[in-house]
């Protein structure tokens, strides 16, 4: 199963995160399938590759809680069909 989750980058006390599509059995820093976004909590900046995110969501990828909040804030779920927005 594929998940959309955060991958930590940056240095100590200055974390930035990549939003990646990754297999659930992989560890946090493991090899990802594709990088689909970027999130900087310090500067509160977000970059999302929306077509790639929608592709993975349509194929059944599940976003983690934090990634789901980021996607909701960016209104990505409004671009999906209404019957596909059933996430926990």
Q: Name the residue ranges covered by the structural domains of the chain.
A: 1-77
Give me the CATH topology for the region 1-77: S16 Ribosomal Protein; Chain: A; (3.30.1320)
Q: List strands edge to edge, sheet with 14-23.
A: 45-48, 34-40, 14-23, 2-11, 62-63
What secondary structure letter does DSSP report for 86?
Answer: -
Q: What six digits make up the tokens of 59?
A: 């194929």
Low-confidence ranges of the chain (pLDDT < 70): 81-88
pTM of the predicted structure, to 2 decimals: 0.81
Phi, psi of 68 (to 5 degrees): -65, -40
State the Cα–Cα distance between residues 54 and 58, nearest whole angstrom. Answer: 6
Q: What six digits make up the tokens of 20?
A: 């990646």
At 81 the pLDDT is 63
State the Cα–Cα distance between residues 39 and 25, nearest whole angstrom. Answer: 23
At 86 the pLDDT is 56
């Amino acid at each position: 199963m594929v998940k959309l989750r955060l991958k930590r980058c940056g240095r100590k006390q200055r974390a930035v995160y990549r939003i990646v599509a990754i297999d659930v059995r992989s560890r946090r820093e493991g090899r990802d399938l594709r990088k689909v976004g970027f999130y900087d909590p310090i500067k509160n900046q977000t970059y999302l590759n929306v077509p790639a995110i929608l592709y993975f969501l349509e194929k059944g990828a599940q976003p983690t809680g934090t990634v789901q909040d980021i996607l909701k804030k960016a209104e990505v779920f409004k671009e999906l069909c209404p019957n596909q927005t059933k996430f926990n």
